[in-house]
Structure 1
Amino acid sequence: MKVLTKVTLIISTGAFFMLATAGYFVFTETKNALQQTIRDRQSELGHQTIDKIDRTLFGYYVGIQNIADEESIQRTLSGAVQDRREIERRIKELPFLTGPWDVLKIINSQGAIIASNSRQDAEKNAEIEKNIENLAALKEAIKGNVYYSDFLFTKDTGRPTMIFAAPIRDQETADQPIIGVVIGHVAWPVIKEIIEASDPASEFDLYTRGGVLIATNQESAKHLFLKNTEIERSLSAPPHVANLIKTEADEGFEALVTRADSHGHLAYKGNQWALFIETPTSIAFAPAISTARRIVLVLLPIILFILFVILLLLSSLVVRPIVDITKVSKVIAVGDFSARVRVRTKDEIGELAISFNAMTEKMRESLNIINIERDKLAKLIESMGDSVMVIDTEGKITLWNYAAALLTGWEQKEVIGRPFKDILKLVREADRASNSDFIVRAITEKVKKSMENHTLLIRKDGTEIPVADSAAPIIDADGDVWGAIVVFRDVAKERELERLKTDFVAIASHEMRTPLTLIKGNSERLLKGESILKDAKLTEMVSSIYRNSDRLFGIVNDFLDVLTLEEKRIPLNLEHFDLVPLVHECVAEFRTFAEAKKIYLKIDDLSASHQMVVADRARVRQVMINLLGNAMRHTEKGGVRLTFEKQKNFIEVSVNDTGPGISKENQLRLFRKFGSIRETFIRSKEYGSGLGLYISKLLIEAMGGEIWLKKSSPGAGSTFSFTLRTSTDKEGV
């Protein structure tokens, strides 16, 4: 997208935002004013309407008492007048004079209907006990109270109404006993007409305290006489005043809602009804929307003209110099660093052009230096005696030096861009399985990885040569891996030299065993002779010969063990056995030594080891004796602790000491052949063969486990750990 287009979009967006802001501000202010006005108006109308309903129902409250005071009704019920025609005529006139009433009934003190304007009462033979609503009114009025019900549907008429009832007393008697009851059913259209006469621009809905809609001014009232749970919940809170809420979720419109509560009138205390007045926002805020629209239409042409002038100036003063810089940068991108930007002004744009030209010159100089260094690096890699391969994160070859081509038989042009597994085919001598996973792991784990020993490279022509190599991840400044470098070489000569050295060690070890046996045996016999024991100096000399011959004998045995283990000829007696007795046996051998040095020797978490392990008991003992011996010799304060941890199919055994620890440099020599650490602050003055940890490693791996330095640092002690298979894993037994 061009700069001018971007600037146009930015300014247009700003202009649109200004228009929208102005329109929104006008709309909001107008809306707030309208909302306040509508709120006040709705509140006033609501209270007027609900007050009118309360006054009307108060009229019914007074009217039912007036009917009860009718002389003709009292005389008929008291028995003073036997002819009922007068009361029957009067009962038909009263619903229109005091009500209007939907139903009006006169009931004597025995509960019999004496007169009624309802034909159904005559058909039911005046059984008021079967009408629960009327019976409740009768029971309350017969006690002397004026009764009124909540909104209901009566069973005798099936129409909505309210029931009022009042006691009829005998005024001719001194104590004025109750001789009957008058019950009236409110003609509900009276209440409905009050609601329907309200403002048609707003919706008026009358609800009971239970949330039932009992009257509305809407022609389509599909929810009439149905319960609204949302309204029922809102009635438990204080009245809402002009809240913007969703009404009738299925209709999906918004309205301003005001609520007015019924509080009754005088003796009529009301039924806690509530009147909700709703004005749709589309009607309420229409003036605000119209005003905002007119303002936007007035401002739009003015802003468009200003926008055109600004864009014209920007195009001349800013965009054209930037276009010049863009054209020159494209020329530089293709490699022509001689191109320069023309400086037209002395403002910021001119300074940008000067800086751009200076940057171009610096880039030209830097590129020359990079090209020189790249050529040096390429020549260095090509002249290396070791084979070098570089791959990307997808495993495709990106670099292949001359030594790699000679060793594998694959030319550089044949391998670049191809997956390295198609070219560098590495297999183990023992089982011919692929042995190139260490390259992938170097990338995924971001650490250097080495190839397993005894690996063969299958060359292009199918011939095989022994190789050794390593892979290291290539990590950028942000810590992201973008490939790996692999260095490999032919180790045929090295292996031959190693074989000769091994043969020499084997021959020398075997040849030394016989004279060492003689020296050890003879010195032992001399120490038992009486003549030697009398000469202390001679005894010390013979003792020294015995000790050192015994030590040399142990070193020779270590050499022979290494040779046997490396050639996979050592027999392993794998069996199931409990590790606990063996641990106690090994610890017991060093208990006296620990007491002499005044250091502790503890076993922790032994309960976790109550699992049968699969291993060679004698070889496990050899490993534990070696680790415990090293820890005890190097610990002067504190002590040595054995811990155990149960894993999925293994038991992890750890030997932790509080000795001087091992430096990072010396940690690299651990588990190597002749890899003893010869530092005076770590090791004692008596050196072994340097094969102890190496032999332990070969033994543990031969039994299917692992051994490693778990943690160590100078001054903080060391922890060596190894694993043994549990009896649940019976492979190899």
Structure 2
Amino acid sequence: MKIRNRILLGYLMAFGMAGILGALIAGWSMEKFMSQRAHENVANISTQTATYLRSYLDSKISLAKVESNGSLFVDLLTGEATASEYQMAKKWMETVMLTDDDVSELWLLNNAGKMMVATNPSLESLYLTSDPNFVNGKKGLWVGDVIRDELTGKIFWTIAFPVVDQNQVNTLGVLVTKLKIEPLESFLRSQGGLGETGESFLVTSDKKLLSKSLFLDSDSVLKTVIDTENVRRCFDESEIEKVESGADYDDVLAADGKDSTRTYVDYRGVSVLGTHAYIPQTKWCLVTKLNQSEVWDPIVKTRLVILAIVGMGFLTFGVAGVILSKKITKPIEELQAAVDVVKAGNFDQKVGTASPDEVGKLSRSFDEMVQSVKKYRQEASSKLDEQTKEITSKNLKMSEQQKALLNVLEDVENEKWRVAGEKEKMDAILGSIGDAVFVVNNDLTLGLINQVALSLSMWKGEAAIGINYRQVLKFVSKDNPQAENDQFNDEFIEKVLKSGEQAEMSADTLLLRPDGSTIPVADSAAPLRDKEGRVVGCVVVFRDVTKAKEIDRMKDEFLSVASHELRTPMTAVKGYLSMLLEGDYGEVHKEWVEPIQTVMHSTERLINLVNDLLSVSRMQAGRIKFAMSDFGIAEVVEQEIAELKTIATDKGLTLEAHDLPRVSVYADQDKIRQIINNLVGNAMKFTEKGGIVISGTTEGDLFKLFVKDSGMGMAPDFQNKLFGRFVQESTSVKGRPAGTGLGLYISQQLSRQMGGDVWLVDSKDGEGSTFGFSIPISGTGLADQVANKLRRLLQV
């Protein structure tokens, strides 16, 4: 037998024995665990249900006993009660039935069996001398048999208590409480944990079904006999004697050395896992059971999973054994062939392998005898040239991809502006033929509404004029699209009516329609004034912006996908360039260093662009995570200044901080550093001489930081779009450094998520700029609001 086959055979035998043994042990353990768990589950549910039933019955019996001791009944039964006291007794019974839904009827009979008072007037003055409740109730507590009302078909059970005189000596009559069986049935049906085939039901002392069963219709109650093994054991006299003596029920059931939960055949002839509990107060039996097939179903599935795992493992180890045996024997075969060639006189033969064992070392030693240092250097130099060409080719390809991405981004932005222009033209056209317009009076009723608005709102009622505008047009937010708790997103209308100033709809405004659907809308509201200039209402104009939202979504999806696809290859290019500069592939010629560094700087810029795009994508998808904490803001600012001061000094700039309040803020420290780094970095980037001054102050719940530079400033027309995405002032004229146009947008969005903001305080072209940045102070109401907001976002 070949060495390869011996290795493979031994490998498979070892795994086969271990796998089969492991599968047997795992299968046996899992089967035992799951079977025991099913037994315990049925037993626990039975115990809990029985405990509830006994407690429920005890409470009803105790209540009936208390009711029978009322002095009002004593007067009625001794003949001393007046008509008003009779009415009071009647009223008391009615009150009991109103406060206790379980009670169906109440009877009060005297010693002669005459019905003195009853909630059913038709029974009064009748004699029920032979009624079991009267006969047995005179002797003491009596829990009657379960009966079915012949007229209504409903099932009841009774409790009878003697009414005695004030000396507790003589029996004057009997108080009978007639109770419904439905509450017990509802409780039994509400019990969970028994799967699809499990159930709990009650059986009377004569073995008739008392409560509804999962597999029998309701007509079977008090008709079907349940004579199964566990019912017979439940009504066994010895078992009843032990239960009534107060013995633990689990001990009673397991007295014969078996588990309290057992397998038996139920009334359908189906094998089940079940148990029972005797209810001594009413002499009922509680049966709890579960189909044996449902118990075994997960066990069978587990066995199949274990067999599949063993089979896959055997196959995997077989393939691994073949590969391993080939790997072990292949160097020996190659060495044998090479020795035969050399024996024939061919000394140019190479047999060297990468194997670290003795055979590999021998083959490599054989090759080393015919190698020369000159040939090695020539091969190394040739290899370095080849790799350099490959990296240069890849870098050129990445540069082309970078240009393509920037062109695509420019096209997307141009398309956005083009769509915006088309939208303005469309608005003008719609204005001439009628846009969605309505007028709201000061009392919030509709004064005017056009057909376009009615069509968008899908209003199908009578004339809308004169009714509250919210009945026709319901503006809601994206966070509460169904206006739960009557929360609407129409504050812009209230603002116009109160302030008399024009107001815009919020960006996430939706129009909720009668069928529950929503459409995104946008536009504004303007005040409507009378001749004296008083606000008498407002005019609201809006339109459906579904298509515009879809275009924005498509652009954002493209940016996210493109960024993810570019990030990995760019990181690989940067890594190879670093390895090339560090000499990992051999000595780099001096004339190559500068071009490689230029390529590496371009790659880093492209990586920064992709990272910014990914940050924007995560913000819009709500996937930015915040690690909020309390920390000293002045210390963080000073640390960032210390890190950036070297860069400022290299550019011949000063970087200083003045008047920083020593307060603690509530924010994500890493993101605060990112915002500060961006603001100060922008200031240094656009400042050629002079310096940057950082100052701070507190205002209300906010800490405010200001970054002032003596740089180039900005033109007024550019300031309005400063915080947009991909916005940067042209650099071709003044030679300003280029960027991605995302830094200020990201900084502003991060600060707003943490309860603050970033804004332009002041800027003049050629005179410098001042930016402001705010964040909540620790322990303030604003900080608590931010914490609750982020906590809700995390739960979602």
- TM-score, normalised with respect to structure 1: 0.44
Taking structure 2 as the reference length, the TM-score comes to: 0.41
Highest Rg: 1 or 2? 1
